[in-house]
Amino acid sequence: MLEHRKLIVQFDFRDSGLIMKVDYTRARYYDPQCGRFISSDPIGLLGRLNIYLYVINPIMWVYPFGLASSYLFRGDDNYSGGSVGRPLGSRADITSPWDHVRRKSNRTSIFTSFATRRQSTKKFTQRNNIIKVSLIDINNLQKEGVIKVYGPDDVAEIMKNNPDKRIRKDANNVRQIMKKNNEVLIEGKLPESVIQCGK
């Protein structure tokens, strides 16, 4: 029988009067009071703007070793082979992640929507044409500078730093839309070699 062990560590900073209790889960330290890791992801899988994040929903999703699910999915009735997306630096009608999330249309976008859960893609396909890409391939392409990956928290963080007050105010709404759809945005071109049938 496999037994999950964790070490609870308490730091006592006597000069500051601060006592901090954290859990060590073999890979990094987690602070249950603030609900996040206090050390970055040591393996760097799907590194985003915030590499100290914990999990999407710890009640619904088991996340024992700091690794995410293994694929991103996309419902796309128009896909019949080839690469997906536009190369980094391409021109398109939609160039901001919030416009992509808010104003889906037939206009071109530098972003391509994927979902962390296969079930979330079904409303975007009539013919059940679902493709998937492994997170290992996503991570490698991101490290090579071929693509950029944006989760809900990444997009909200970018929006909160925007000089336009209306965009800053809309950050949490866009985050909620993305979370509801389990949406991840990819900027860049995914080569055909990494795309698999998602059925």
Residue extents of the structural domains in the chain = 71-198
Task: Please tell me the least confidently modeled range out of 32-41, 90-99, 107-116, 184-193.
Answer: 32-41
The pLDDT tens digits for 128-178 are: 889 999 888 898 899 899 999 999 999 999 999 999 999 999 999 999 999
**183: nearest Cα among 82, 95, 91, 75:** 75
Average pLDDT over residues 69-87: 89
* Percent composition of the chain: helix, strand, coil (DSSP 3-state, to 5): 25, 25, 50
The pLDDT tens digits for 94-136 are: 999 999 998 767 889 999 999 998 888 888 888 888 999 988 8
Q: How far is it, in rounded angstroms, from Cα 65 to Cα 101? A: 31
Give the dihedral of Cα atoms 79, 140, 107, 104; nearest 10 deg. 90
**Mean pLDDT across the chain, nearest whole number?**
77
State how beta strands 130-134 and 71-75 pair: antiparallel
pLDDT at residue number 67: 47
Q: How far is it, in rounded angstroms, from Cα 130 to Cα 166? A: 35
Q: What is 125-154 written as a DSSP string? A: -SS--EEEEEHHHHHHHHHTTSEEEE-HHH
Q: Which residue has the higher pLDDT, 41 or 185?
A: 185
Lay out the sheet containing 36-37: strands in order across. Answer: 7-13, 18-24, 29-31, 36-37
DSSP for residue 120 = G
**Is it the case that residue 48 has pLDDT exceeding 70?**
no
